[in-house]
Homo-oligomer: A and B are copies of this chain.
Amino acid sequence: MGEALQGLKRTIMCGELRESHVGNKYTVMGWVQRRRNLGGLEFVDLRDRTGILQVVFGEEINKETFEKADTVRSEYCIAVTGTLVKRESPNKEIPTGMVELKGEEIKILSESETPPIYIKENLDAGENIRLKYRYLDLRRPDMQKIFMIRHRAAKIVRDFLDENGFLEMETPILGKSTPEGARDYLVPSRNYPGKFYALPQSPQLFKQLLMMSGYDRYFQIAKCFRDEDLRANRQPEFTQIDMELSFVEEDDVIGLNERLVQKVFKEVAGVDVKLPIERMPYKIAMEKYGSDKPDLRFGMEINDLSEVVKDVDFKVFQDALANNGSVRAIKAENCAGMGRKQIDKLVDFVKGYGAKGLAWVAYKEDGIKSSIAKFLDEEQTKVVLDKIEAKVGDLVLIVADKNSVVFQSLGALRLHMAKELGILENNNEYRFVWITEFPLLSYNEEEERFQAEHHPFTSPMDEDIQYLESDPGRVRAKAYDIVLNGEELGGGSIRIHDIKLQQKMLGFLGFTEESAWESFGFLLEAFKYGAPPHGGLAFGFDRMVMFLAGTENIKDVITFPKNQNAFCPLTEAPNVVDDIQLKELGILMKEEEK
């Protein structure tokens, strides 16, 4: 059992000590990063949240202390009292490197076995062992930096929104399961056997109700839940900066939130975000980048070749054009020399996105090579190269198909090529863009019905309401996403606040009047009593922190994350529970059939 503090107080943190502190007596507490005996002295690197301090113990300072110091090992938790002195051989690598503490007294607060993972930056250990010993993994300085960044970011967000008239309000975690959206996590009710609460996928309906209630500006840093199969960078529970404002239009929400983003990125990461952030309509984003979250840090934009190839006698092109599709291409600069095998891999790559093939034209110094030379004569090929402004050395990659496939495959190919070519290596840019004018509805061909592109509560654009009946697919929404370096950082919309329009929307989504009332009756009812115009936005806070901390793994920014199977190797949740608990809930488990 370790020694007790018994009134001993820490007087300063390890990482704070500088030359200006020399000559004073301090008590520091922390963990032994390492201890070594050198020239008859014991040197201990002592670590706390703020950094590392060298502590030196010598027989001449205090013999008893010196002998005790000799017994400490890595990760022992100790308290040391001593006088700060200038260091004879400074260590320029660490901020405290000019000084060291002469250890006069030591308490061993608790001992440590050899930890199963190293407590050091940039640990190269398997995910499972890191998660199983998460409390040790979290002890590593690079992890600690991330959670200090996360705290700082949340604080700045809260300060900013408070200054701008927002109230932070909590909404229920035990909510109601609603259709639309992802799969809910369910919570069986004990009072009503057979009935269930659902954990919220977002506080969407509640925040809209708070606007009906006149709270004017609401926000919450809110836990949200989705019981989905976990792709990389998804977690079953995640955190949103969720907000809603009354009496606003798109420009108000966008304007406020870009100031928020500017402040957070400046104060946490020292990144300057120039305002206003560029805005790009969805249609342009798709046509130029094949994506509604375009990475604008590099060009390689998609070109429409439909017009210049419309007379080419090539069935693939003609079929695409005849079916309302298009022929489009990207240009990979200085890639004309790419070998056949490499190009074949690109063909396979776009097939993974639904394209039937990938045509290519290599503008080599010794002439043009092309996979479609049979169909395009030299003149026609030149027209294509001119259209896309290809220079000698460039490789043109062409997809002809229906537009959704063209965009998806060329958008993905563009990112793939940038990665292959190392275009973004050492790129420190933070390229923000607002994507606007999203389609309100998209047609789900499998289910043969429209579905909401954002969610069923998004308002159509005023000028497009006229097409709601005649051409629903044409209607654009008052929706906006904020995209950073090709990742969605947040998104939102102006909401419908009119009962008739909301009912019409739900009708498009396949709800009968009855099922609409069953699922969303309380919202529709609320619209009857003077609902204000309102809109909002939610940022993915985990992703924001990933950007601020410079990590690409969502598990790095969550204290105790789950693995790919939504399992926690540390606590072993989920786990079996007492039969009595299930009995109280009226639940039986199906026998496993495998």
Interface hits, A168-218 → B, CB 8 Å: 168-177, 183-199, 205-206, 209-210, 212-216
Known: A75-B529, A223-B173, A529-B136. A215 touches B588 (CB 8 A): no
What is the total number of copies of this protein in its complex?
Answer: 2
- Once bound together, how far apart are the Cα atoms of A10 and B165, in whole Å? 13
Are B247 and A5 within 8 A (Cβ)? yes
Are B194 and A589 within 8 A (Cβ)? yes
Are B29 and A247 within 8 A (Cβ)? yes
Are B574 and A197 within 8 A (Cβ)? yes
Known: A498-B110, A501-B1. A188 touches B191 (CB 8 A): no
Interface hits, A21-63 → B, CB 8 Å: 29-32, 47-49
CB distance from A162 to the nearest CB of B (A): 6
Q: Is A553 an interface residue (CB 8 A)?
A: no
Known: A158-B158, A529-B112. A185 touches B194 (CB 8 A): no
Ordered nearest first, which 5 A-B pairs have the shortest CB separation? A138-B213, A176-B573, A112-B530, A189-B574, A77-B530
Contact among B7, B10, B174, B198 for A247, CB-based, below 8 A? B10
Are A587 and B587 within 8 A (Cβ)? yes
Residues of B within 8 A of A188 (CB): 186, 188, 587
Interface size class of A (residues with CB under 8 A): 35 or more
Q: Is A567 an interface residue (CB 8 A)?
A: yes
Of chain B, the residue at the smallest CB distance from A29 is B247
Residues of B within 8 A of A4 (CB): 462, 533
- Once bound together, how far apart are the Cα atoms of A444 and B526, in whole Å? 50
Interface hits, A43-97 → B, CB 8 Å: 47-49, 75-77, 79
Are A532 and B110 within 8 A (Cβ)? yes
Q: Is A274 an interface residue (CB 8 A)?
A: no
Stretch binding the partner chain, chosen from A120-128, A142-150, A351-359, A377-385? A142-150
Stretch binding the partner chain, chosen from A331-339, A429-437, A557-565? A557-565
- Once bound together, how far apart are the Cα atoms of A581 and B167, in whole Å? 35
- Once bound together, how far apart are the Cα atoms of A578 and B135, in whole Å? 39
Are B589 and A210 within 8 A (Cβ)? no
Q: Is A522 an interface residue (CB 8 A)?
A: yes
Known: A147-B167, A586-B589, A588-B590. A197 touches B573 (CB 8 A): yes
Interface hits, A115-141 → B, CB 8 Å: 115, 134-136, 138-139
Are A162 and B172 within 8 A (Cβ)? no
Are A187 and B185 within 8 A (Cβ)? yes
- Once bound together, how far apart are the Cα atoms of A77 and B77, in whole Å? 62
Residues of B within 8 A of A344 (CB): none
Q: Is A304 an interface residue (CB 8 A)?
A: no
Of chain B, the residue at the smallest CB distance from A168 is B151
Residues of B within 8 A of A168 (CB): 151, 154-155
CB distance from A561 to the nearest CB of B (A): 8
Q: Is A113 an interface residue (CB 8 A)?
A: yes
Contact among B32, B184, B528 for A112, CB-based, below 8 A? B528
- Once bound together, how far apart are the Cα atoms of A13 and B167, in whole Å? 15
Q: Is A471 an interface residue (CB 8 A)?
A: no
Contact among B75, B530, B573 for A76, CB-based, below 8 A? B530
CB distance from A397 to the nearest CB of B (A): 40
Are B175 and A571 within 8 A (Cβ)? yes
Residues of B within 8 A of A409 (CB): none
Residues of B within 8 A of A529 (CB): 75, 112-113, 115, 135-136
Are A186 and B189 within 8 A (Cβ)? no
- Once bound together, how far apart are the Cα atoms of A559 and B200, in whole Å? 15
Residues of B within 8 A of A48 (CB): 214, 216
Q: Is A239 an interface residue (CB 8 A)?
A: yes
Are B139 and A213 within 8 A (Cβ)? yes
- Once bound together, how far apart are the Cα atoms of A541 and B155, in whole Å? 19
The CB with the most chain B CB atoms within 10 A, among A1, A135, A155, is that of A135
